[in-house]
Structure 1
Amino acid sequence: MKPYQSIPIQDCGEPLIKIPLEQFSLETPHPYQKLGASYGPKSPYYLRAQVVEALIEAQTHLQQQYPGWKIHIFDAYRPVAVQQFMVDYTFTSLLEEKGLILDALSPTEKDNLWQQVYQIWAVPSDDLTTPPPHSTGGAVDITLKDDQGQLLDMGGMIDELSERSQPNYYATQRDNPGQSYHQRRELLNEIMTKAGFLRHPGEWWHFSLGDQMWAWQSQQAIAYYGRA
């Protein structure tokens, strides 16, 4: 159990609404759908109403500094079933990457692999008191696109299982492009925090508002978004 999961939830009942995608940048089809994840009647491009408003505000902050730039939405709402799919997919990919055979692994070796997976993936819990952040509609994974329609190089990929996913990985580097990567991550964090979001401590791309992680980071007594 992660520290933020101890925060109690009193869901405010705010609805999931469609993100106005024409205002943002996105990838179609959705990255996880391309891998085979099924959202059923749900859509990955939904968030809670207040979170959508805050995301629009964040883009306004961005465009005040860099006209024509856009927030690129990688992932937003994620049902628990999709969370489970991506956890399993990441574990299988890790086995293949390392050239390992599952049945040949000891319990300790398996546990070590799962610990790597859970560095960036929340447990796909069905417990209503410990929902994965994205399953609340209060979390979004994003990066930036410039006025030429090019994604900015942030020094690491979204969902990357490496130390480069740490928000401040490049903070102490004095070389170029290391400093450029850090400055871009700081810009992303700046526009989002101005709009009320908080960044995941271990993921430069993940921001939340109203869920347990947000409440824990902001020292709120309760979270007001539970599983949607």
Structure 2
Amino acid sequence: MDASQESIKSVAEDLYKPIPTEIPPAIGWKEVLVEENEDPLVAIGPFSGNKYDRIFTSSIYFGERDDSPYGRDKLKGALITTFARREVADQLTTAERILPQGLHLIVMDAYRTLDVQQSLYTQYFEGLKKQHPDWDDDRLSEETQKFVSLPSTTPSRPSPHNTGGAIDVAIYKLPEEVEKRVSAINDRIGIIGEDESEVEEVYRLEMERIGLIAKNAKLLNFGTQWDFGGVEAALNYFEGLAQHKQLSREEEEARQNRRLLYNVMIKAGFEPYADEWWHYNSVQSQMGAMTSGKTRAGYGAIELSEEDWHHELMRRKHLHGTELLTRTPVQSLDKLGRHVLWLEMAQEAAQTIGDMKETSLPRAAIIEPPEKQAA
């Protein structure tokens, strides 16, 4: 084996190092001092119009696609756009580059409004209350907060996702031919750049890329659904299980995939969260600062800017418009006058994708305590 092969082997092994059996606890994270550093929120994912547009996102809480167990408009305050602090978005692009060739990050959630936080917290809390009627509110809240933080409007104790410094991620892969086509699309968009004369081609390519990934992505096996609210979701669950039994093939596969995600995210600068394999924190968040040994956090609660809201409304209108165009006969566009050429192009792109909700991605879990934990 030559030096280059040794190097490749070493890098590969480095990405699959075991997850520590002891993950730094986040106990006391709310006491970490917050000194807001003004790092802005940025849009990531499709149509973000920036360098973060190649990170694929699927807005579970908005009900963007069929991988969501929630219907559209079922969770008040849910966003179709994934927003995160700019430094977090930069770290995500780093993580994407670290992944082995052919594997990619998918982001399910980042910045979260307090309305969504409240809905998720109440949902889990009430589920636990039904299972454990003998528990008092303090214990119910303590157990709930392992999976859903308490919504907070207190500046010194913001909810982690409401800071834009917490991220929920997984890894997917594409069939070889689809991977090649998506790569070619990325290259072409990179060449075109911001040439306004090529905006129609960029739009077609962006729509094609979205459809190819949404309908062909295969999520790696991590052992549970995303947002599963049980002990099996713990980051090092399979590391611990292996100390007591021989892992099945599926369990070993899940352990390896969790190791990969963990090592990639750590190398990109994130901090892990012990109770959820998909959740990682910026060191600028209170929770990330606590687990990394820092005494101050740079991210407090943050609200969407006017520009952010403008982008969010654009994404919603585009989604609804695209879904309408997939059902609109071509002849009907003639009645719309001078905009017909643009609409014909948009309709062609929409009908190429087909059903915008259709996806090959597995359905996420509703965040609630598993029935098997019932007393």
Whether these two folds match at TM > 0.5 is: yes
Aligned partners of 1:20, 1:159: CA distance in 2, in Å? 20
Q: Using structure 1 for the length normalisation, give the TM-score.
A: 0.85
Judged with a 3 Å threshold, the aligned counterparts in structure 2 of structure 1 residues 222 and 111 are, in CA distance, closer, same or farther, namely: closer
Amino acid in structure 1 at the alignment position of 2:121: V
| Matched residue, 2:76 | 38
Letter of the aligned partner of 1:4 in structure 2?
A: W
Residue matched to 1:151 = 219
Distance 1:215 1:169 in 2: 23
Greater gyration radius: 2
Structure 2: how far apart are the matches of 1:218 and 1:95? 33
Count of residue pairs brought into register by the alignment: 215
Corresponding residue of 1:56: 93
What SS does the corresponding residue of 2:218 show, helix, strand or coil?
A: coil
Identity of aligned residues (%): 27
Q: Does 1:7 align with 2:38?
A: no
Find runs of 4+ consecutive structure 1 residues off by over 6 angstroms: none
Q: Name 1:207's counterpart in structure 2.
A: 280
Report the secondary structure of 1:32's partner residue. coil
Task: Map 1:29-178 onto structure 2 (within 5 A).
Answer: 30-34=59-63, 35=70, 36-39=74-77, 44-62=81-99, 65=100, 67-94=101-128, 98=131, 105=133, 108=135, 112-148=139-175, 149-172=217-240, 173=242, 174-175=246-247, 176-178=249-251
Instruction: Tell me the alpha carbon deviations over residues 70-118 of structure 1, each in whole angstroms, 9 at most, x when there is no partner.
Output: 111111100122100111223345567x5x9xxxx45x36655444322
Give the superposition deviation at 1:179: 1.6
TM-score using structure 2 length? 0.53
Aligned residue type for 1:180: E
Paired letter, 1:37? L
Instruction: Confirm or deny: 8 A CA contact 1:44 1:75 kept in the other structure.
Output: no
5+ residue gaps in structure 2? 1-25, 47-52, 64-69, 176-216, 303-375
Name the structure with the higher helix share: 2
State how far apart, in whole Å, the 1-side matches of 2:105 and 2:87 are. 17
* Structure 1 residue ranges without an equivalent (≥5): none
RMSD (Å), alpha carbons: 2.2
Q: What one-letter code is carried by the residue in structure 2 that aligns with 1:68?
A: G
